[in-house]
Chains A and B, each alone.
Chain A
């Protein structure tokens, strides 16, 4: 630990007020216990705090609602957790332009409530806690069950305001969705897990809320039948915004279910439900779920990591997703799993002891790699995390990525060790 933290604390307190600089005891990030938790109130304060931290050579962990600070690889150092949760103004919201500028600490849930009254939304339902902030969602590029229909944060972040570790500030992108001026640095910051800079404001584009939404749950005697049905649905005219196969998430004899969601005009939703019913031929049980039940199930389908100690997410080519899903299920029959058949994402949670978990994850990663996919570790015991990279290898690209990290954070102070390739 750095010797200067007492003077660091007082410098920070001088900047943002003593109430917002707390000595930390309760928050542990795996083996590490950060010394300070600070909560600046504005982009300017964030900037000033970063400069002071850099001067003191203190490692800074950017945070939003502080719900997922252990994501990624174990940190090498953690001196100061900088939460932007007090940056929670919606700076501008222009419904006719389907655009908003929000501070990074705005909770997605609160923002959605505001846009909903204008008939619009940010169509993201990322895995993770309910109070997740828009900054953290952008930083982790977190997506959920709506990904097939609507995409990921990458598709919605049109501009950013950033505070850099050297205390400078910059902006990327702009306020309009279509914009090719200069390099598209939004893409680099989104999904950088707080290792390049702190986002203080996020400009997003919005979409009109669909007129109607319906979730259909279909079950059958065997998994094979459900897979076959899913294939026929994908080949038909219907365009679900989510199509998932789940295992262990619903109370059915087989434990497996096919979940479909349609969001469009009422007429189009109705037509699609009828089309699907036409493919069922009596051997399936199908039901449309009530709104709350559907919401809960979709949440569960992408938050499998809450169901057991170990959780992984595989991303595989579309054509292989059902085959890999079947392999995953045989490898871990007693687990909770979902497969996003439209995107090629498989989420799996399972209980295991450390040694067993290590083997299973290695095994699953090689299954994913064999078909050209990747595996991300969402949740694992510290020992296992220490032994395996959360993302896997980045190979030949490590050089370019390190070069970028070096130019943005030469002292290696932003979430050190959390990201790929030891960055």
Chain B
């Protein structure tokens, strides 16, 4: 395959191809006019923008397959897209690719309580599944903060997490099977759908492949029983260090909270000044949301131990949500924190990295120091229980110098986390944004092996080009050429 040249100008899909696409999915579901395409030029990482050559909205797996075949035959790259809430530019249309959006694959096909699973199309919004099942005492456990908008297909592709993944595991622990349209157009089913499947765990490798192995059209997911009891605590701390020490100690004490989140002052203020105000005190340095769930008899004792640990680490107070309404309000405010921060300044760089939780106090101190060094404002709101940081930097994208400082600070933060024994992303993925950080944690040999797997799923490289693995990496074990990657 010849490398596809990158130009900054919008490039049209040949009319004949457009006609074929329209024949496959219907006239209305192929967008080609630049003004229609504008909303697709970026995802929630707004700094990288590329106009797709077209957007196609298929309704079924067969239509996705037909679309993929048409494009593959013409050597036109394509990029899967769910709701576009990705924070690392995973669904940006590099190389003038055509976006295949799953918005119309939006049916919940089966809810099967006896087998504790549901079958959904990939464009189903995450929260809709839990809304459908919670009256029957079940939910779909992975709960990204974007769950009101993001799709199950996007979650599968990113192996998304969320506050409650501390106890319940990431998306990968909840996916039993997927139906996938391979970049060749072939439709295959990966995973046993609840039974042990023979052979290599292709499903496991697919989850988290960020749209570069194929397009998910259906997913069979686990349904989890809602816990009998829930207790949500809000710990108020006058220093971030006290809050982080409490986190480490709660985990070390053998308590497995359902969620353990930290919110620092900058975030609290942003949230409380927004319409999402959760009634958080604004005069503290950090808050911990500690949620304990399980059998009602067990949680009292665990909650009491968690409170005791917080108080020992100088918590000013530990509040217990008195009812469901208060609990919902706390979580509503927490989950909308990114949105609220987005209003502090013109732009927001949401960061995502993981460190061993025992290193929280030192690493957090150093992150604030890095921000100060680059004269930037950093706000931390994150999944403290599994060491998954979100140091977010608000800035003004029109200020070139500030943008440069944001880049430098982000890199310094990544390096810090890697040196502490962590990783460059815990849930938002690599996408386009973090591609150059991959070398911080993986050797060329490690990435070659990744390419050796990608090559099997996506031998032409047409599916979601220029993501995850830097284009400079080649693979001795693969047959396909380099992907052309230029950031602008």
Binding site for B on A (CB under 8 A): 94-99, 119-120, 141, 151, 154-155, 162, 164, 168-172, 174-188, 190-192, 196, 207-209, 211, 237-239, 264-265, 267-268, 270-272, 315-319, 344-345, 372-374, 376, 391-394, 396-398, 400-401, 403-404, 407-408, 410, 419-421
Q: Which residues of B contact A420 (CB under 8 A)?
A: 198-199
3 tightest A-B contacts by CB?
A187-B204, A208-B254, A268-B298
B354 and A176 contact, CB distance less than 8 A? yes
A175 and B421 contact, CB distance less than 8 A? yes
CA distance A255 to B327 in the complex (A): 50
B199 and A419 contact, CB distance less than 8 A? yes
A184 and B159 contact, CB distance less than 8 A? yes
B449 and A172 contact, CB distance less than 8 A? yes
Q: Which residues of B contact A391 (CB under 8 A)?
A: 198-199
Q: Which residues of A contact B446 (CB under 8 A)?
A: 170-172, 182
The interface bits of chain B over 158-195 (1 if a CB of A lies within 8 angstroms of the residue's CB, else 0) are 11010001000110110000000000000011101111
Q: Can you list 14 A-B contacts with CB-CB less than 8 angstroms, sorted by A residue number?
A: A94-B358, A169-B445, A178-B383, A178-B386, A180-B429, A182-B442, A183-B453, A187-B205, A208-B254, A264-B295, A374-B197, A401-B199, A401-B202, A410-B477
CA distance A182 to B430 in the complex (A): 7
CA distance A181 to B428 in the complex (A): 9
CA distance A345 to B112 in the complex (A): 19
B358 and A187 contact, CB distance less than 8 A? no
CA distance A394 to B425 in the complex (A): 33
Of B77-85, B330-338, B454-462, the one with at least 4 CB within 8 A of chain A: B454-462
CA distance A178 to B355 in the complex (A): 9
Q: Which residues of A contact B159 (CB under 8 A)?
A: 180, 184
Q: Which residues of A contact B429 (CB under 8 A)?
A: 180
The interface bits of chain B over 416-454 (1 if a CB of A lies within 8 angstroms of the residue's CB, else 0) are 000001111111111000100010011101111110111
Q: Which residues of A contact B448 (CB under 8 A)?
A: 170
Binding site for A on B (CB under 8 A): 112, 114-116, 158-159, 161, 165, 169-170, 172-173, 188-190, 192-205, 207-209, 225, 228, 248, 251-252, 254-256, 294-295, 297-298, 301-302, 354-358, 383, 386-388, 421-430, 434, 438, 441-443, 445-450, 452-457, 468-469, 477-478
Minimum CB distance partner of B201 in chain A: A187
B357 and A97 contact, CB distance less than 8 A? yes
CA distance A58 to B29 in the complex (A): 56
A265 and B450 contact, CB distance less than 8 A? no
Assess A174 versus B252: contact at CB under 8 Å? Given A187-B204, A268-B294, A374-B196: no
A92 to chain B, nearest CB (A): 9
CA distance A36 to B484 in the complex (A): 47
CA distance A319 to B223 in the complex (A): 14
B443 and A170 contact, CB distance less than 8 A? yes
Q: Which residues of B contact A318 (CB under 8 A)?
A: 114-116, 194
B193 and A183 contact, CB distance less than 8 A? no
A182 and B114 contact, CB distance less than 8 A? no
Assess A97 versus B449: contact at CB under 8 Å? Given A176-B423, A180-B426, A404-B456: no
Assess A179 versus B354: contact at CB under 8 Å? Given A187-B204, A421-B199: yes
A408 and B452 contact, CB distance less than 8 A? yes
CA distance A264 to B172 in the complex (A): 25
CA distance A392 to B382 in the complex (A): 45
A180 and B425 contact, CB distance less than 8 A? yes
A401 and B445 contact, CB distance less than 8 A? no
Assess A185 versus B449: contact at CB under 8 Å? Given A171-B443, A178-B170: yes
A132 to chain B, nearest CB (A): 19
Assess A407 versus B426: contact at CB under 8 Å? Given A264-B295, A394-B198: no
B204 to chain A, nearest CB (A): 3
8 further interface pairs, Cβ-Cβ under 8 Å (given A176-B421, A318-B116, A374-B198): A154-B201, A164-B449, A171-B446, A180-B426, A184-B208, A211-B254, A376-B196, A410-B477
CA distance A169 to B443 in the complex (A): 10
A185 and B450 contact, CB distance less than 8 A? yes
A184 and B423 contact, CB distance less than 8 A? no
Minimum CB distance partner of A373 in chain B: B195
B272 to chain A, nearest CB (A): 28
A315 and B442 contact, CB distance less than 8 A? no
Q: Which residues of B contact A268 (CB under 8 A)?
A: 294-295, 297-298
Assess A178 versus B457: contact at CB under 8 Å? Given A185-B449, A265-B301: no
A182 and B200 contact, CB distance less than 8 A? no
B442 and A178 contact, CB distance less than 8 A? no
Which of B194, B198, B201, B387 has a CB less than 8 Å from the CB of A176?
B387
Minimum CB distance partner of A99 in chain B: B356
A96 and B114 contact, CB distance less than 8 A? no
A140 to chain B, nearest CB (A): 12
Minimum CB distance partner of B422 in chain A: A176
Assess A208 versus B256: contact at CB under 8 Å? Given A183-B209, A268-B297: yes
Minimum CB distance partner of B424 in chain A: A181
Q: Which residues of A contact B202 (CB under 8 A)?
A: 188, 397, 400-401
A317 and B356 contact, CB distance less than 8 A? no
Minimum CB distance partner of B469 in chain A: A182
CA distance A175 to B441 in the complex (A): 11
Q: Which residues of A contact B197 (CB under 8 A)?
A: 374
A237 and B256 contact, CB distance less than 8 A? no
**A96, A154, A372, A376 — most chain B CB neighbours (10 Å):** A96
A142 to chain B, nearest CB (A): 11
Minimum CB distance partner of A404 in chain B: B456
Assess A94 versus B356: contact at CB under 8 Å? Given A401-B199, A407-B452, A421-B199: yes
CA distance A420 to B434 in the complex (A): 36
Which of B161, B190, B302, B453 has a CB less than 8 Å from the CB of A185?
B453
A70 to chain B, nearest CB (A): 18
CA distance A317 to B116 in the complex (A): 10
A374 and B201 contact, CB distance less than 8 A? no
Which of B195, B254, B302 has a CB less than 8 Å from the CB of A315?
B195
A407 and B456 contact, CB distance less than 8 A? yes
Q: Which residues of A contact B252 (CB under 8 A)?
A: 95-96
CA distance A386 to B381 in the complex (A): 58
Q: Which residues of B contact A396 (CB under 8 A)?
A: 188-189
CA distance A272 to B228 in the complex (A): 13
A96 and B248 contact, CB distance less than 8 A? yes
Q: Which residues of A contact B301 (CB under 8 A)?
A: 265, 267
Assess A209 versus B254: contact at CB under 8 Å? Given A182-B442, A184-B207, A419-B199: yes
A99 to chain B, nearest CB (A): 7
Q: Which residues of A contact B443 (CB under 8 A)?
A: 170-171
Minimum CB distance partner of B355 in chain A: A176
B199 and A344 contact, CB distance less than 8 A? no
Minimum CB distance partner of B160 in chain A: A180
Minimum CB distance partner of A178 in chain B: B426
**B165, B387, B456 — most chain A CB neighbours (10 Å):** B456
Assess A237 versus B228: contact at CB under 8 Å? Given A170-B449, A397-B199: yes
Q: Which residues of A contact B158 (CB under 8 A)?
A: 180
Q: Which residues of A contact B354 (CB under 8 A)?
A: 176, 178-179
A222 to chain B, nearest CB (A): 23
Q: Which residues of A contact B453 (CB under 8 A)?
A: 183, 185, 188, 404, 407
Assess A319 versus B115: contact at CB under 8 Å? Given A174-B441, A268-B297, A372-B195: yes
